[in-house]
């Protein structure tokens, strides 16, 4: 069931101490101040840092990150046991698409593709708009609300579980409970068992997926789940593990991406009233404004890879046995790609941002995520002209999985 390679970790040679930076890559300081760190690091060669007692390497420059994302001969996605990445085993060793190199990666990606066909995504737009309008009417009556837990989060439950997956509402708590339990994995010491609450949530969704496979084979349905099963059944029967893996990745990735991205975008705009005023004066800028929001506030700070062959990047040796953290957020601050990268400018129209990955690892649901984010942010920004931060001085606390900049609360008022 696990995709991990159970091989001894190669011994590293002595590393140059001057190439180390003392930073907790997954701590609150990093999450809260990622733009400042990235703006600095992207001007430097790759550097080393310690993670759970292991020397890891951080790569930030846009060109290098793009190259690493498609170079599986040097940077493998397949987990290596004992390399200091236990905190990323969110799904109990399931065969995740992000943990596979080609050709297995390509096969699993094909299972996801039918669910995001352009015609299928386009059919969702009026339904997404209607759900957003419905919840917007509810918060209008409250006057004060939390963007994350009372608007964006509940919306994504309805959109993903209700509209995309077409699951009945009584089954939603199964997925919500597992989604909430995922960040517990990062709190477990290396080698220790996962918390009981996580294991119970995992087992409940796994059992649900097993029943769903058999049900949809007897009574096929033209929805995302049906398209995944049909795509696999052309060549062979999908296993419970594979369907569970596909479904839970789509759900957790979609829920986290859209909830956090839309929340961070609203926060960024409200903290830049000049740019917000410009957007309200010209709503046609919404698409490019959101691309700029996603550039400066990338949800996933890093994607990790396992170094399997030796390379030197700008004078920094990178050895087999290291884990490389590819800074998607850092690449978005590369001045060689984005002039004056610390400036937030909604007319920039940034191209080639790495927020959703790149090449074979481009998020297959990025068009759906962009559409949902556009609906959520647009409804708030244009529908509530007096929208403001309840307390502009409030400190935003970030949670989510280790690499995520997921705000836990953003308190807003409609005054």
103 occurs within a structural domain: yes
Q: 3-class DSSP state for residue 21?
A: coil
In this prediction, residue 336 carries a pLDDT of 97
8 occurs within a structural domain: no
Mean pLDDT of the chain: 90
279 occurs within a structural domain: yes
In this prediction, residue 233 carries a pLDDT of 64
Nearest alpha-carbon partner for 412 in 196, 148, 36, 168: 148
Confidence band for 6, pLDDT divided at 50, 70 and 90: very low
227 occurs within a structural domain: yes
Residue 72 contacts residue 101 (beta carbons within 8 Å): yes
DSSP state of 352: S
pLDDT at residue 150 greater than cutoff 80: yes
In this prediction, residue 204 carries a pLDDT of 92
CATH code where residue 145 lies: 1.10.630.10
Alpha-helical segments (H) within 3-113:
28-32, 34-41, 62-70, 104-112
pLDDT at residue 110 greater than cutoff 80: no
Where do we find the tokens 């927020």?
A: 355
pLDDT in tens, 352-372: 999 999 988 888 889 999 999
Q: Regarding predicted confidence, which is higher, 224 or 73?
A: 73
Q: How many structural domains compose the chain?
A: 1
pLDDT in tens, 374-412: 999 999 999 999 999 999 999 999 988 899 999 999 999
For 55, how many CA atoms within 13 A lie in the half-sphere containing its CB? 19
pLDDT at residue 282 greater than cutoff 60: yes
pLDDT at residue 3 greater than cutoff 50: no
> Is the CA virtual torsion 86, 366, 61, 315 positive or negative?
positive
Which residue segment(s) compose the domain that 211 sits in?
A: 17-414
In this prediction, residue 232 carries a pLDDT of 66
263 occurs within a structural domain: yes
3 occurs within a structural domain: no
In this prediction, residue 1 carries a pLDDT of 35
In this prediction, residue 231 carries a pLDDT of 66
Question: ∠ CA(286), CA(328), CA(6), 5° rounding?
Answer: 140
Segment 38-46 shows an average pLDDT of 98
Helix then strand then coil, % of the chain, to nearest 5: 55, 10, 35
pLDDT at residue 2 greater than cutoff 50: no
198 occurs within a structural domain: yes
Nearest alpha-carbon partner for 215 in 191, 243, 252: 243
- Distance between CA atoms of residues 346 and 231, nearest Å: 40
Lowest mean pLDDT, pick from 195-204, 246-255, 260-269, 275-284: 246-255
* CB-CB neighbours of 28 under 10 Å: 12
Q: Which two tokens stand for residue 78?
A: 């397949």
Question: What percent of the chain clears pLDDT 90, i.e. is strictly above it?
Answer: 61
Residue 224 contacts residue 166 (beta carbons within 8 Å): yes
7 occurs within a structural domain: no
């Amino acid at each position: 069931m696990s995709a991990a390679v159970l091989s001894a970790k190669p011994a590293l040679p002595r590393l140059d101490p001057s190439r180390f930076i003392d930073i907790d890559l997954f701590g609150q300081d990093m999450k809260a101040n990622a733009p400042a760190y990235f703006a600095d690091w992207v001007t430097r060669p790759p550097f080393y840092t310690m993670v759970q007692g292991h020397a890891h390497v951080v790569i930030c420059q846009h060109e290098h990150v793009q190259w690493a994302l498609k170079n599986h001969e040097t940077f493998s996605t397949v987990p290596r046991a004992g390399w200091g990445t236990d905190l990323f085993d969110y799904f109990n060793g399931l065969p995740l698409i992000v943990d596979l190199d080609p050709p297995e990666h390509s096969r699993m990606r094909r299972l996801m593709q039918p669910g995001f066909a352009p015609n299928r995504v386009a059919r969702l737009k009026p339904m997404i708009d209607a759900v957003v309008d419905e919840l917007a009417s509810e918060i209008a009556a409250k006057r004060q609300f939390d963007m994350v837990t009372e608007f964006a989060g509940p919306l994504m439950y309805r959109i993903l579980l209700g509209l995309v997956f077409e699951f009945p509402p009584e089954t939603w708590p199964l997925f919500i409970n597992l989604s909430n339990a995922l960040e517990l994995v990062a709190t477990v010491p290396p080698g220790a068992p996962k918390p009981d609450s996580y294991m119970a949530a995992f087992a409940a969704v796994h059992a649900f997926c097993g029943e769903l496979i058999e049900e949809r084979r007897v009574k096929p349905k033209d929805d995302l789940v049906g398209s995944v099963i049909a795509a696999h059944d052309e060549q062979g029967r999908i296993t419970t593990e594979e369907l569970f893996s596909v479904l839970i990745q789509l759900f957790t990735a979609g829920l986290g991406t859209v909830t956090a991205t839309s929340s961070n975008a609203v926060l960024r705009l409200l903290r830049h009233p000049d740019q917000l005023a410009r957007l309200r004066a010209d709503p046609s800028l919404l698409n490019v404004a959101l691309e700029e929001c996603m550039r400066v506030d990338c949800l996933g700070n890093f994607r990790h890879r396992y170094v399997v062959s030796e390379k030197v990047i700008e004078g920094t040796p990178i050895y087999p046995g290291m884990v490389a953290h590819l800074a998607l957020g850092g690449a978005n601050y590369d001045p060689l790609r984005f002039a004056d990268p610390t400036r937030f400018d909604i007319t920039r129209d940034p191209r080639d941002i790495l927020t959703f990955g790149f090449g074979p690892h481009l998020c297959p649901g990025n068009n759906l995520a962009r559409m949902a984010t556009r609906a959520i942010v647009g409804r708030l920004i244009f529908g509530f002209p007096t929208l403001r931060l309840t307390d502009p001085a409030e400190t935003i606390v970030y949670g989510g999985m280790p690499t995520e900049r997921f705000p836990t609360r953003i308190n807003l008022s409609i005054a």
